[in-house]
Structure 1
Amino acid sequence: MLKQDRFKRIVEEVAKGGSVSLPSLSKLLAVSEDTIRRDIKEMDTQGLLRSVRGGAVSIAHIPHHYRDRERTDMAQKRIIAQKAVTLIKADQVLFFDGGTSALELAKIIPADCPVTIITHSFPVASAIEDHPSAELIFLGGRLHKTAFATYGYETLTSIAKFHVDYYFFGVTSITTERLFCRDLEDAEVKKRMMEHSKKVVGLCTTDKLDSETNYYIDRTEKLSYLITEEDSNHPQLRAYAALGLHIL
C-alpha cells in the first residue's frame, strides 16, 4: 500500500473513533508498527492528527471565533447545561468559563437560586446581569476580541482572590491523560481557575473526547465531573470513568 493511501486510511480510522492504536493500524494496513509510527509522526507534522503514546488522536476542529462557536452543537450543549444545572445549589460561589457551554448553563440557573458567579466572559456576564438572585463578579483584564473574555495578568491576579465551590470548565480537547485548549492565555486562565476551585466540572460535547489541541492545561484527573450530551454508559466515556471522574 502506498504511503498516501495509508495516510487516508489512518485519517479515516481516527475520525471514526477519535483515537486509534499502533497495533490496530498495523493489523488493518498489514505493515509494521514502526512504519505506522513514522506515518503518524509525519501526519502530526502536517496537522492531520496528533501523535500520542501508542497511537494517534484527532485534532479538534472547533470554530475559533465565539460568534461561530455559539451556533455550533447547540442541542448537545443544552443537554449538557441541563445536567450541569443539577449541581448548582443556593449560596454557592462558582467560576464560569468563557465557553459557549458555560453560557448555556448560565441562561438556565433557576431564578430563585441565590449564587455568586465569577467569570471573565462578557456573554456569561450578560446572561447573569438580569438574574434576580445571582450576584455577579466580573474579572477584569485585557479583552480577547475573538473569545469575548478577559485574559492576562489582571485576570489571573483576580482569580487568585477566590476559592470557589465549582468551576464550570468548557472543554476544548481532552484525552484520558491531559486537557488542552487552543490559546496560551486561555490555558493560563483555565489552569488558575482549576487551582482555586474545590471541584472542576468539565462541560464537553463528545466530539472533543480523545482529541488534542496546541496548549496543555493540566491533567485530566484534576476534573471532578465530566458532563457530555451522551448517557453516562456511552462506550467512549468508559476510559474517563475509570479515572474516577463522575460521569453525567
Structure 2
Amino acid sequence: MLKEERFKVILDRLVNDQKVYLAGLSALLNVSEDTVRRDIKELADQGLLKSVRGGAVPHAPGPHHFRDRISHDKDQKQIIANKALSFLKDGQVVIFDGGTSAMLIAQALPKDLRITVVTNSFPIASLLEEHEFVEVLFAGGRLLKNSFVTIGSDTIQFLKKFRADICLLGICSIHKELGVTGPDYEESEVKRTMIQSSREIIALATAEKLETAEAFYICPTERLSVIITDQPGGQEAFKTYSELGIQMV
C-alpha cells in the first residue's frame, strides 16, 4: 500500500472512530508500528491530526481567527448562548473568556440582569458598555490580534484577583483523557488562570469539538462543571462526560 493510501485510511478511520491506535492501524494496514508512527507524525506536521501517545486524535474543526469564527457555526453557537443564560443570576461575578460563544451570551444578556463581568475580550467589553446594570472589569495586557483578547503576565495577574462564581469558557477542544486544550500557548495560560479563579466552569462547545485535541493543555476535563453544546442532552456520545460528573446541557 502506498503512503498516500495509508494516509487516507488513517484519516478516514479517525473521522469514524475519533481516535486511532498504533497497534490497530498496524494490523489494518499490514505495516509495522514504526511505519504507522512515522505516518502519523507526517500527518500531524501537516496539521491534519493531533499525535498523542499510542495513536492520534482529531484537531478541532473550524477556523482560529476571531473574524472567521464569528460566522462559523453561528446558529449552533446561538443555541449554546441561549442555554447558558439560564445559569446567570443577579449578584454573580462572571468571567467571560474571548470566545465567540461567550460574545453571543454577552449580546443576549437580559437588560435587567445585574452581574459583574470580568473579561479580557475587547468585543465583549465593548458590547457590555451599553448594558446599564452590568459592571465590566477589563483585564489589560498584550493584544493577541487573531483573537482580540489580552494575554501575558499583566492579564494573568489581574485575573488572579478574583474568585468568580462562574467562568464561561469558550472551548476549542475537549477530550476525556487529554483534557481541555487550545491552539495558542499564551491564550491557554490565560484560560487556565480563569479556571483557577472560578468556582464553577461552564464550557461552551459545539458537539464537533468533543473528543478532539490541540497542542496546549488548559485543565483536566473533570474540572468542568457543565458542558453546553448545540445538541440536546442525553445523547450516547455525552455519556463519557456525564460519568465524570459533568452536567451535559
Check the 8 A contact 1:81/1:104 in 2, yes or no.
yes
Report whether the alignment pairs 1:2 with 2:2: yes
**In structure 2, what is the Cα distance between the partners aligned to 1:232 and 1:27?**
36
Q: Which residue of 1 aligns with 2:210?
A: 209
| Corresponding residue SS for 1:9 | helix
Q: Which residue of 2 aligns with 1:111?
A: 111
Q: What is the letter of the counterpart of residue 19 of structure 2?
A: S
Q: Which residue of 2 aligns with 1:196?
A: 197
Q: What is the letter of the counterpart of residue 240 of structure 2?
A: A
Report whether the alignment pairs 1:166 with 2:166: yes
Check the 8 A contact 2:60/2:213 in 1, yes or no.
yes
1:235–1:41 Cα change, 3 Å: farther
| Corresponding residue SS for 1:70 | helix
Aligned-residue offset at 1:53: 3.7
Question: RMSD of the alignment, in Å?
Answer: 2.0
Q: Which moved more, 1:2-11 or 1:181-190?
A: 2-11
Q: What is the letter of the counterpart of residue 200 of structure 2?
A: K
| Corresponding residue SS for 2:112 | coil
Q: Which residue of 1 aligns with 2:233?
A: 232
Report whether the alignment pairs 1:143 with 2:143: yes
How many residues align? The count is 248
**In structure 2, what is the Cα distance between the partners aligned to 1:123 and 1:112?**
21
* TM-score, normalised relative to structure 2: 0.91
| Corresponding residue SS for 2:71 | coil
Percent identical? 45
Describe the superposition over 1:107-128 as per-residue Cα deviations: whole angstroms up to 9, x where unpaired. 1111111111110101111221
1:119–1:113 Cα change, 3 Å: same
**In structure 1, what is the Cα distance between the partners aligned to 2:87 and 2:58?**
31
Report whether the alignment pairs 1:132 with 2:132: yes
**In structure 1, what is the Cα distance between the partners aligned to 2:23 and 2:61?**
26
Q: Which moved more, 1:227-236 or 1:35-44?
A: 35-44
Q: Which residue of 2 aligns with 1:92?
A: 92
* TM-score, normalised relative to structure 1: 0.91
Check the 8 A contact 2:84/2:228 in 1, yes or no.
yes
1:145–1:46 Cα change, 3 Å: closer
Check the 8 A contact 1:97/1:119 in 2, yes or no.
yes
**In structure 2, what is the Cα distance between the partners aligned to 1:231 and 1:26?**
37
Q: What is the letter of the counterpart of residue 155 of structure 2?
A: T
1:235–1:3 Cα change, 3 Å: farther
| Corresponding residue SS for 2:140 | coil
Check the 8 A contact 2:66/2:147 in 1, yes or no.
yes
Check the 8 A contact 2:61/2:208 in 1, yes or no.
no
Aligned-residue offset at 1:39: 3.4
Gaps of 5+ in 2: none
